[in-house]
Structure 1
Amino acid sequence: MTSILPLTEPAIAARAATDSDDTSAHPGAPRRTARGSRARRVRYALTVLVFLLPSAIPLTLFVLTPMVSAAWISLHDWNLLSPMTFVGLDNFAGLITDPDTARVFGNTVYYIVGYLPLVYIGGLALALALNRAMRGRNLLRGIYFLPVVTSWIVVAIVWRWLLAPENGVVNGVLGFFGIDGPGWWTDPSWSMPSIILASAWKDLGFVMVILLAGLQSINTDLYDAAKVDGAGPWRRLISVTLPMLSPSTFFVVVISLINGFQVFDQVYAMTGGGPAGSSQVVVGEIYDLTFRYGSAGEASALSWMLFVVILAATVVQVIGQKRWVHYA
């Protein structure tokens, strides 16, 4: 039977001596523990790597590799057929001094300035309307979201028909009220507004869903307290809804800015960048430089310039959001 009496001082000294002898007799024991710890860390890292591979492989193949390749091509003169010729930073220097570069960036900014307020205000109005209890609310939400999942080719054909200068529906309605409609996508002054209208209409459902989720996360006690203080609907919108909706607004603004700088499908399908280059955007210019003019080096340099602009705009938004985004 093992004794459970407390050890005396001589017994403690004897136990310490025994432990010391065991340690000296087995000098490899701590080393085996460290080796086992390293093995566990390696197994953990391999396990994490296995779970990351399904996303890491496509990210490497279709994002990182093309980016590195574009950076290398931007330093060369290449028409996709003949061997590349190294030119250093000449492609960047040529683009910076080319008036067409300023024009396409200006058209892209014009698109964003017109598109972003329109799609946000429209999406907010739909979200506020469909956040109320009403019959058929879910059906209406699905109907408004339907254009988001519709192909841009289909949307472009529909809007080209709606905005046709001679027999379009929009000009027909304007003519009924005695108003001469513009040339829309055939007029250099109205080509970009035509694209903005079509883009905002297509993306209203996406913005509506994001803002609707934000509205449903707002504590209703805030509205009750505002009513007790005598705040009307407009004051509740300004003082309660918009501040509490700022995280969703921030997400919409960042995503819309990134997508706005990358706009291409609707421009290509509706106007092809015309007439007279009035609706040509940066990505459209990259496409033309590569496949129409055989200047892949300049196209790659322009794509990296666009990347830097998007990155700078995103960083400014992330830094600035600390001043106006309120997280509950």
Structure 2
Amino acid sequence: MSLRDEFIKLLREDETFRMAVAGLLGLDSILNELKSLREDFKELVKLEKERLDENNKRWEENDKKWEMNEKRWMENDKKWEENFKRWEENDKKWEMNEKRWMENDKKWEENFKRWEENDKKWEMNEKRWMENDKKWEENFKRWEENDKKWEMNEKRWMENDKKWEENFKRWEENDKKWEMNEKRWMENDKKWEENFKRWEENDKKWDEAMKRFSRIELELGASVESQYSRYVWEDLRDELRARGEVVEQRVRNMDLDGVEIDLLVTTDRAAYVVEVKVRPTINDVGALLAKADVVREKLGKPIVPILTGSYIGSEVEAYAKGKGVRMYRY
């Protein structure tokens, strides 16, 4: 093997010999610098990868927070829908209440005082709703400001390589905003709980009012039935005397084979079946005719159905007269 071949072999196989030759030729500093640059480059690539991984994690966490925030908005919308339904039901109750007030003007001096207190409560409730609306307006403004901040943040991400320190600071600010947003959600949930409690109290008041209305209707119905029955009997008695009919019996609140009759008057010629209603309807006319059929079958006499009341509509009166029902209005 020649000296040349031996020299080339050593350069290929012996790294120490190769580095010595490179040093003699002035290449060792270049090789060391290249090695150092390669190591620095690897470190830079590693650092950049760590930064990108950390940034991706933050974006994933931010996306999850936005998803959770969207769910909360959907739940909040459902609560608003339920709240609107409750307002519609409440409006219907107020309409029904207004009709009842028209029928009981003389009975509610004490109730007027209670309604005045209720109106004050509604005024206070309205003020609270106005305050709630202001809070929602302020919340929307904050969301607009948050959107603007996100647009600015997007631009800053484009300058990512030069702005890492500033970006980390902004992430800390964003975390604080999420903490503040969480506190606001907790405050909003408390407001909803308070609102539901008020609805429960309102429902209890309505239940109590309905019970009182029912008691008044029963008492009023019994009183009116007794009074109107007496009026009908006095007028009918004069008519019977004028026609020469002899009264055989007069019975109030009679139960005839399971049929309840307000007033039954029988004479030697006919039987008079009286139905008492404050505001009779067409259905009441039909019920009276059915009772008249039962009495006719039971007593075997001609039947004269009589319907009495205070508020008798023209349609009801026309229908009753068409069916042969006599009308007494008081």
Shorter-normalised TM range: under 0.3
TM-score normalized by the length of structure 2: 0.23
Q: Which has the higher contact order (CA 8 A, sep 6+)?
A: 1
| Structure (1 or 2) with the larger CA radius of gyration | 2
Higher fraction of strand: 2
Higher fraction of helix: 2
TM-score normalized by the length of structure 1: 0.23
